[in-house]
Amino acid sequence: MRSPIPDYLAEALSSVESDESGAMADYIPELAAANPDRLAVALCTEDGRLYSQGDADVAFSIQSISKPFVYALALADSGFDEVMAKVSVEPSGDAFNEISFEDGTGRPLNPMINAGAITAHTLAGPRDATPTERTSRIIDGLSAFAGRHLSVDEGVYESEISTAYRNRALANMLRANDIIDGEPLDAVVGYTRQCALLVTVEDLALMAATLANRGVNPLTGAPVVSALVVRQVLSVMATCGMYDGAGHWMTNVGIPAKSGVAGGLIGALPGQAGIATFSPRLDEHGNSVRGVDLFRRFTSEMGMHLMEVPPPGPSVVRGRELVGTGDQAVQILSLQGRIRFAGAERVLRDLENDPLTQKRVAISLERVATVGPVARRMLLEAVRRLTLDGHDVYLIDPDGALPDPDPGDGGRVTVVSERLGITE
């Protein structure tokens, strides 16, 4: 069978193709000269399958889509405390290039607006890096997200740096506020080079999929940043990634996202996929008109809104059974599915409301796919309490769904890989 996903993506592109509204970014002369009709989409699953349609091999400059990735590198290299001291995480409600700083601290309000992004640029790489070393670290880091070496479009860089008066003003203010060290112009030069990196929608979908996949590039397998860094970055993308359009974006589309003035747009759906679109005409917030439309469509047709959860599946508690007789009888509580906090709570509730009656009891994880870290602790506490209540406790866990099964203080459990291990 041929997968219907490419057909679906092609059809989505044709549904927005005739929309010529919006305007090209004209404050960077080179961008104003780009072909406004380009249109492309790519989707990369969290296990690395890439689908794309339209002008998928056309390269364009990454622009502000570099910001979440550089913020990730800054967090990884300088640590959360240092980065938070210099850039806050509050939505500004302002345009991307607004000259706005937090009262009292002089910090930029978030790393998605230019002031915050220029600051994040200075926090990536080692503290004593030269401007050139820092920019190289950033290019290498973004390349690791993309799974291939990215290079700077020198024409776009020259075009932007020669007119970057506003970003220079921002960098000078940041220096005056003691937020960045060193020469402000170096920060603007490095930031402008970062924005001029050439990408295709396929690169961007893979970069977004790396965020969706807890910081591990799903194609190369390279761990680029930690899961904790990804959590921070996706949270900031969700609240600030679409600038003064962020509230409408989050309510209508509901995916952590980032746009760029060259017409790129990415969305990262945690645990599922990265999506990228390319269409250069922009709305009044600087976001791609047809890109926003495509994402709206994907959200409603593919159920991607983060706040929309699937209806509850079958209960984690699958049932109970009694095997064997007399002293050898074992009461087995069978669990199923993916167990997180709410599922583990169901197990604890079940054990409290309807206590196990045999001396020998077993919890079966034979049909359990995964046990989250919190659920693991809750289940082990159940084991500990069952031991303290006088039970001999077994865990039937053929696939090792519950790692390191140590119930701690006073608890005891015998782990077996099949039922026969306790019933015979």
Which of 51, 71, 157, 243 is catalytic? The answer is 243
Asked if 122 is part of the footprint of ligand DON (rule: CB under 6 A), the reply reads: no
Q: Of 259, 201, 267, whose CA–CA distance to 234 is shortest? A: 267
CB closer to ligand DON out of 22 and 260: 260
Asked if 283 is part of the footprint of ligand DON (rule: CB under 6 A), the reply reads: no
Binding flags for ligand DON, 186-225, as an x/- string (CB under 6 A): ---------x------------------------------
Give the binding-site size for ligand DON (rule: CB under 6 A): 12
CB closer to ligand DON out of 195 and 205: 195
Asked if 291 is part of the footprint of ligand DON (rule: CB under 6 A), the reply reads: no
Q: Which residue is nearest to ligand DON (CB)?
A: 64
φ, ψ of residue 267 in degrees (nearest 5): -135, 140
Asked if 92 is part of the footprint of ligand DON (rule: CB under 6 A), the reply reads: no
Q: Catalytic residue at 261? A: yes
CB closer to ligand DON out of 172 and 315: 172
> Can you tell me which of 96, 101, 298, 394 binds ligand DON, judged by CB under 6 A?
96
Which CA distances in Å does 302 have to 55, 211, 299?
22, 19, 5
Q: At what angle do helices 201-212 and 131-146 cross, to 10 degrees?
A: 90
Print burial letters for 92-126: b (CB count within 10 Å at least 16), e (below 16): beebbbbebbbeeeebbbbbbbbbbbbbbbbbbbe
Which CA distances in Å does 21 have to 24, 32, 264, 280?
10, 15, 16, 11
Rounded Cα–Cα distance for residues 335 and 317 (Å)? 5
Asked if 135 is part of the footprint of ligand DON (rule: CB under 6 A), the reply reads: no
Asked if 159 is part of the footprint of ligand DON (rule: CB under 6 A), the reply reads: no
The SS3 call for residue 246 is: helix
Q: Catalytic residue at 258? A: no
Which of 152, 261, 289, 413 is catalytic? The answer is 261
Q: At what angle do helices 184-195 and 154-161 cross, to 10 degrees?
A: 140
H/E stretch holding 395 reads strand 392-396
Ranges within 352-411 binding ligand DON (CB under 6 A) = none
Which spans of this chain sit near ligand DON (rule: CB under 6 A)?
Answer: 63-64, 96-97, 114, 160, 167, 195, 259-261, 286
Catalytically annotated residues = 64, 67, 191, 243, 261
